[in-house]
Structure 1
Amino acid sequence: MEHPAVHPLARARRARGLSQDQLAARVRDSAARRGLRSGTDASRIRKWERGIRPDEDSQTYLAEALGLPAGTIDAPWPDWLPLTDTGVVPLSMHAPVPALREALRTVDRRTFLTVSSAALTTLTADWATADTTKTVSAQLAGDGDLIDVLETSGRQLAAADPVHHPHTTRLLREHLATVTDLLDRGSHSPATRHRLHTLAADIAHTLAWRGFDNGDNAHAAQYWIAALHNSHAAGDTDRGAGLISDLAYQAAWQGDHALAGQLLTHALSRATHPAARSLLQLRLARTHAARRETRPALRALAAAERHLAQTAGDRPAWCVWLSDADLAVDSGQTLLDLGDTARAHQLITDGERLLPAQRGKTRGIFLAYQAANHLDLKEPEPAAAAATQSLLLARRIHAPRCIRLVEDLIPRFQPYRQIPGVNDLLHLAAA
């Protein structure tokens, strides 16, 4: 693992297997392609890697020499340089700020960096065996009016109506950039740094789900990774396990159930709170079922139910939403993948009925699952009713991931056009 003091230019050069002489030659070639001349040599590369700022033209040549896309240079030197080619900042005591910078940089540059599954597995394996960072309790923090403001406004922005997400997401990114600067440049007591790491994890966690719901999977992964580094710095092991389980959920959503299983195994190795373990076991059950691993899936379901029954009212804030409704629907989806359609249908229906009214996005997803289950049972009329409810709700509350779930079901409705409600659904989906 490289020392954090390594300059980003040196890191980017080494990641590409280039010597300073080779990079200098590429810079000169980049200038020559423009009919210009650059005097860059290994000595100049060395100076840049020691902190001397290249001029604007040289930065343009460097971006091309490093194989970075046009438009990369949209931040001050050296902030536009990538910190990693794998999309995953390795775990270390110095990693929280670089991970935040990488998440913010990925969004600002509009690049879609592919997150390496191997690097992600390594990160979570390191997390599973790392010593928990020793921190001072957040209750001991006394100073920090700015942090008070950021904490309060961050909660309000995260809770704002989904219709305002385009605006609140931009503001949350700006909040996260401010927190990152405070962590990077400020001199703080251990208690204040604890608050900042916790706030960084909170905001990055929210932005991860916003990105995932919008289909921006690379952006979402970067934010989850940044949140994981900061929860680790704050010593919150259960929160870290939850963040890894979110990465596993994303992997499963993309069809990579092998990666999801590996990540969940690492997360379960350290999760302690019953609510956290219930959520992880529930997601592990879905992963086993997708791979047709019946006995492990049923064992995980039983463990999820047992842990949820042990959960008291002090459950962590990041999984306070976990309820009997979630257990019922995800159990139903697990059984559906295992072929137990009748029992799955009952559980999914029960779960949708139990869900609190304020969880509209989850209700929309549950209804989409219910529609898929009815289609599996060759019941197109109730399937159309559930899909129509899901689509109308998802459009009203601006839930793009839920909309995509229903849209993916539409081809399965085509043979049932003459069934009541189906044609109306098809017209609604096309509108």
Structure 2
Amino acid sequence: MARQAVDLNKGREAVRFARLTQTRSDMWSASTRVTALLAIREAQGHARVGDVFNCEASIKRAWKEWERGADGRDPDWTTFLNLAELTCLEGMCRLDLGQTKRAQRLLAESEKLQDVAHSRNRGMCLGRLSVAAISTGDIGHSIDATTKAIELTKTGMSSARAIEQLKIVHDGLAPHHRARGVGDLLEEIRALVA
């Protein structure tokens, strides 16, 4: 629910859901991956409302828990939280906080770490990387990331979030439509999201 609240731009609700779950998870001694996931979900909520201090604290908690390593009690639904994904989620927080250069660096690092088994996560990361690159004025990197995201979509990766992200990328690239390669890319995005 915290993740959905972030997607709906309801950061306060995301924080509330994450904190409530963290309180409950303490009662049943949650595994390290569960604890890390809850902390990064809280960070995403704080980032969405621009709360830098609490976002930083939540990111640090997430990494501290993640670095403790896998736990035999980690539920299957936490297996997606690998190094690439946690790096991507931190990058998304940084992007929401307006820390675009840091976000671009983290998202580019995450994209290099992503594997084929997590194509939906990679698609989301690429979309956010494209947005971060636009924000830093790195149109070439944005074109590259967007092209990779489109290729994932064309090869069967389906994700409503990734499509929504491509719409955001389209709007960000539109003012640069005269830059080399952007016009064709905008048309390709329009064809996908129509």
**Which TM-score applies when normalising by structure 2?**
0.89
| Structure (1 or 2) with the larger CA radius of gyration | 1
Task: Provide the C-alpha distance between the structure 2 equivalents of 1:313 and 1:390, rounded to a whole number of angstroms.
Answer: 32
Task: Provide the C-alpha distance between the structure 2 equivalents of 1:312 and 1:374, rounded to a whole number of angstroms.
Answer: 33
2:145 aligned with 1:391: no
AA in 2 matched with 1:259:
E
Task: Provide the C-alpha distance between the structure 2 equivalents of 1:365 and 1:384, rounded to a whole number of angstroms.
Answer: 15
Query: Residue 294 of structure 1 corresponds to which residue in structure 2?
Result: 52
Q: Does the Cα contact within 8 Å between 2:32 and 2:71 map onto a contact in 1? A: no
* Cα deviations by residue, 1:328-347 (Å, 9 ceiling, x for unpaired): 11111212222322222111
2:29 aligned with 1:275: no
Task: Provide the C-alpha distance between the structure 2 equivalents of 1:359 and 1:326, rounded to a whole number of angstroms.
Answer: 9
Q: Does the Cα contact within 8 Å between 1:355 and 1:363 map onto a contact in 2? A: yes
Task: Provide the C-alpha distance between the structure 2 equivalents of 1:422 and 1:329, rounded to a whole number of angstroms.
Answer: 25
Aligned pairs for 1:186-201 within 5 A: none
Aligned pairs for 1:24-423 within 5 A: 247-271=1-25, 272-312=30-70, 314=72, 315-397=74-156, 398-423=158-183
Secondary structure (helix, strand or coil) at the match of 1:366 reads helix
Query: Residue 57 of structure 1 corresponds to which residue in structure 2?
Result: none
Task: Provide the C-alpha distance between the structure 1 equivalents of 2:34 and 2:24, rounded to a whole number of angstroms.
Answer: 10
Secondary structure (helix, strand or coil) at the match of 2:116 reads coil
Gaps of 5+ in 1: 1-246
* Cα deviations by residue, 1:164-222 (Å, 9 ceiling, x for unpaired): xxxxxxxxxxxxxxxxxxxxxxxxxxxxxxxxxxxxxxxxxxxxxxxxxxxxxxxxxxx
Task: Provide the C-alpha distance between the structure 2 equivalents of 1:250 and 1:407, rounded to a whole number of angstroms.
Answer: 18
AA in 2 matched with 1:372:
V
**Structure 1's 294 and 430: CA in aligned 2 closer, same or farther, altered over 3 A?**
closer
Q: How many residue pairs are counted as aligned between the two chains? A: 185
Secondary structure (helix, strand or coil) at the match of 1:270 reads helix
Structure 1 stretches of 4+ moved >6 Å = none
What is the Cα deviation at residue 313 of structure 1? Answer: 5.1
AA in 1 matched with 2:76:
A
The structure carrying a bigger helix percent of its residues is 2
Task: Provide the C-alpha distance between the structure 1 equivalents of 2:94 and 2:189, rounded to a whole number of angstroms.
Answer: 28
Q: Which has the higher contact order (CA 8 A, sep 6+)?
A: 2
Taking only the aligned residue pairs, the percentage that are identical comes to 24
Secondary structure (helix, strand or coil) at the match of 2:24 reads coil
Task: Provide the C-alpha distance between the structure 2 equivalents of 1:364 and 1:320, rounded to a whole number of angstroms.
Answer: 18
CA root-mean-square deviation: 1.4
Q: Does the Cα contact within 8 Å between 1:328 and 1:348 map onto a contact in 2? A: yes
Gaps of 5+ in 2: none
